[in-house]
């Protein structure tokens, strides 16, 4: 009789410990993912602000879009990011991977809308251009004179990483 009670207690304790370990494993995994995503967001934000500081002095130069497009190609390759410069109306001015003249208006992109309303815009979505899931962070800064002379528009720096690269980490 004591053996069967003892055996049940041992099995019960092992089961309780196993459940606790599984719950702690899920919590720890979630916490690591959350911490990683926050760190990634913070790093992308810092990179966006540094990029803004780099190009802010060139804004009203005649060669601005061409110089920034070249700079974005170099920086994007160096940092392993896709970098896009967009004006407040959604027109792509520079892109590290694509020809901005061939790109559609980005005013309806969730990260751009959020960036214009707040300090930063973030989205995880499928990129029609790259045909893969991406993590986007957009930050507004400065102003550029409108070509038509109708005033100034905010600029937005958008950085993007493939979600596959994030999920591998």
- Reported as type and span, the H/E element at residue 168 is helix 163-168
Beta strands in the chain (DSSP E): 82-87, 92-95, 121-127, 132-145, 152-162
Instruction: For each of the domains in the chain, give its residue range(s) and CATH number, in order of start.
Output: 28-168 (3.30.450.20)
Q: With CA atoms as reference, report the closest residue to 64 among 75, 52, 72, 55.
A: 55
Q: pLDDT tens across 94-110, in order?
A: 888 888 888 899 999 99
In this model, does residue 76 exceed pLDDT 50? yes
The residue-averaged pLDDT of 41-63 equals 84
Query: What's the predicted TM-score (pTM) here?
Result: 0.78
pLDDT at 165: 74
């Amino acid at each position: 009789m004591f053996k069967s009670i003892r055996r049940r207690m041992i099995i019960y304790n092992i089961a309780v410990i196993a459940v606790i370990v599984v719950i702690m494993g899920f919590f720890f995994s979630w916490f690591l993912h959350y911490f990683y995503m926050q760190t990634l967001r913070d790093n992308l934000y810092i990179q966006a602000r540094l990029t803004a500081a780099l190009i802010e002095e060139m804004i009203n130069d005649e060669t601005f879009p061409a110089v920034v497009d070249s700079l974005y190609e170099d920086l994007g390759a160096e940092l392993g990011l896709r970098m896009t410069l967009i004006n407040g109306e959604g027109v792509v001015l520079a892109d590290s991977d694509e020809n901005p003249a061939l790109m559609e208006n980005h005013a309806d992109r969730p990260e751009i809308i959020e960036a214009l309303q707040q300090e930063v815009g973030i989205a995880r979505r499928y990129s029609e251009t790259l045909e893969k899931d991406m993590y986007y962070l957009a930050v507004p800064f400065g102003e550029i004179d409108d070509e038509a002379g109708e005033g100034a528009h905010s600029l937005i720096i958008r950085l993007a990483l493939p979600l596959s690269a994030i999920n591998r980490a």
